[in-house]
Amino acid sequence: DNASSMHRQLYQLKQMMLLYEAAMDAITSRVEVLQEDFRLLHDYNPIEHVKSRLKSAESILGKAQRKGIELTVTNLMNSLYDIAGVRLTCSFPSDLYTVRDLLLSQPDLRLVEEKDYVSSPKPNGYKSLHLIIQVPVHLSTGTHSVPVEVQLRTIAMDFWASLEHKIYYKYDHDVPRHLTDALKLAADVADTLDTSMERIHREVQNLDQSRESSEAPDALI
């Protein structure tokens, strides 16, 4: 009857949110382990910040309606990949790929989609590396593969994207031309900053390495 069908739907919805939360926490926790490991092993850490968010019920419903997705839990899980999101901010552009490769080398994580807006930025200047990673979540009733959207950005790309996002919503998706032009220019400046910072970082790292090798004890052989 109606009441039991509503009860079942509510249960499914709660279970869905539990799955997404668990998958998101799993990614966050693995990234935190990598961060700790980098702190122990190396003198610098490629992951600056980790932020995660679950899409609100309102935005899930809004997006499902916009995309014409019928509102069932199975449909939502198969069609919306950004219900759980983790954003990783790194210092330098090459770190994005280092962290990507480290995550994807974990045998139970599966890459289902990748959009590289770093090598191919969006026309507005947006840059980030987007991965949809499927994470196994074990419930009492069995194991589910749950997609999590992982966005990797440098600090400069994140600074730009946060401001652009605010402006985009402030103008209700219709940003005046002079602001889109200014944002595009700012994106180019952020890009130049990223390139310069990476070059400086590399030079210092190479210097450290050559010092270490010249100071290394050579009497063991």
Query: What positions carry a catalytic annotation?
Result: 149
191 part of the interface to ligand 0O2, by CB under 6 A: no
3-class secondary-structure state, position 80 = coil
154 vs 129: CA distance, rounded Å: 10
Query: Site for ligand 0O2 (CB under 6 A): which residue of 78, 124, 192, 205?
Result: 124
Distances (CA, A) of 126 to 46, 94, 160: 21, 17, 8
The overall longest dimension of the chain from CA atoms, in Å, is 83
- When asked if residue 115 is in the footprint of ligand 0O2 (CB under 6 A), the reply is yes
| Interaction between residue 161 and ligand 0O2 (CB under 6 A) | yes
Residue 86 sits in the site that holds ligand 0O2 (CB under 6 A): no
DSSP conformational letter for 105: T
Could you tell me the smallest distance in angstroms from the CB atom of residue 186 to ligand 0O2?
12
Neighbours of 143 (CB within 10 A): 9
Per CB under 6 A, does 51 bind ligand 0O2? no
Q: Which of 130, 133, 154, 158 binds ligand 0O2 (CB under 6 A)?
A: 130
Based on CB atoms, which residue is closest to ligand 0O2, 165 or 211? Answer: 165
Pick from 130, 161, 139: nearest CA to 21: 139
Say whether residue 165 binds ligand 0O2 (CB under 6 A).
yes
How does strand 142-154 pair with strand 129-139?
A: antiparallel
Binding site for ligand 0O2 (CB under 6 A): 82, 115, 122, 124, 126, 130, 161, 164-165
